[in-house]
């Protein structure tokens, strides 16, 4: 599943390609995504100019000149592909996972521009497209989400207040988008390892020092991954054929039975499960 860094890379790719471009035509071959695509989706987007491309958490937001906003969530397996009408590109994927070429199946939505088409592919159909007709509704939609982990709002004071009497383990807190936005399983593992926090530890039991470390490494890990172009777990490639490189900097994720990378630590990484998600821990470092 794409996490915040991967979605940020897709947003940047789209920004380079479709900002200030007019949508010529929308073709929908399957409306049955996670949420059914609304009936007037085509009529509301066709002929519209895209004035901005932004992102919040794992959502891509297309701003249109009719004051509508199109939210795109890639779900578990969604990818966006750019197909040039004039030349055949070897690589079409704007994302960093799954096929770097446009698959023949599961192409559900096509957004056509003058010289190219953006195609949404999603085998599992957990992604979705949603239209909102005002900035007020856009703001309201994201009210239930916590601040982004890279934001200055995700700081010691905020975390300390939210963790008062919180019995939930810290790993599940990081994955709770109502608490903090944009952290998925891979990065939660990396953040907790670098913060020297055991993922099973109850949030209310974190020390002030651990909270400071949590805020610090949440920002550091996600920003590093964005800089390195995302994480390549299953042949992640971008449209230029370049893999994300953050996986080369993993300290704990997917390193089961390997020695801990921390200096002077003799521990080994173990794999366990929290809420059916893989968790990688060095029990010597993460107390």
Catalytic residues: 2-3, 58, 277
User: Contact 113/18 with Cβ under 8 angstroms?
Assistant: yes
- Residue 69 β-bridge partners: 63, 132
Phi, psi of 212 (to 5 degrees): -60, -45
Six-digit token pair at 1?
């599943």
């Amino acid at each position: 599943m794409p996490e915040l860094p991967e979605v940020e890379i897709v947003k940047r790719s789209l920004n380079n390609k479709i900002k200030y471009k007019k949508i010529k035509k929308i073709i929908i071959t399957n409306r049955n995504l996670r949420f059914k695509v609304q009936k007037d989706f085509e009529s509301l987007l066709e002929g519209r100019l895209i004035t901005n491309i932004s992102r919040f958490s794992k959502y891509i937001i297309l701003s249109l000149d009719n004051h509508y906003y199109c939210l795109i969530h890639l779900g578990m397996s969604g990818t966006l592909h750019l197909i040039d009408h004039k030349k055949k590109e070897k690589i079409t994927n704007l994302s960093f996972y799954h096929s770097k070429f446009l698959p023949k199946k599961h192409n559900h939505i096509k957004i056509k521009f003058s010289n190219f088409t953006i195609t949404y592919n999603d085998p599992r159909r957990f992604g979705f497209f949603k239209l909102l007709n005002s900035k007020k509704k856009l703001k309201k939609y994201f009210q239930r989400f916590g601040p982004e982990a890279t934001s200055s709002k995700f700081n010691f004071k905020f975390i300390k207040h939210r963790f008062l009497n919180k019995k939930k383990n810290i790993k599940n807190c990081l994955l709770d988008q109502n608490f903090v936005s944009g952290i998925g399983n891979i990065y939660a593992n990396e953040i907790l390892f670098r913060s020297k926090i055991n993922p099973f530890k109850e949030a209310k039991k974190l020390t002030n020092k651990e909270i400071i470390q949590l805020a610090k490494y949440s920002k550091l890990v996600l920003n590093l991954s964005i800089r390195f172009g995302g994480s390549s777990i299953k042949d992640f490639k971008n449209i230029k054929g370049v893999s994300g490189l953050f996986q080369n900097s993993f300290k704990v994720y997917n390193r089961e039975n390997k020695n801990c990378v921390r200096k002077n630590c003799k521990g080994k990484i173990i794999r366990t499960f929290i809420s059916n998600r893989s968790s990688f821990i060095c029990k010597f470092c993460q107390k």
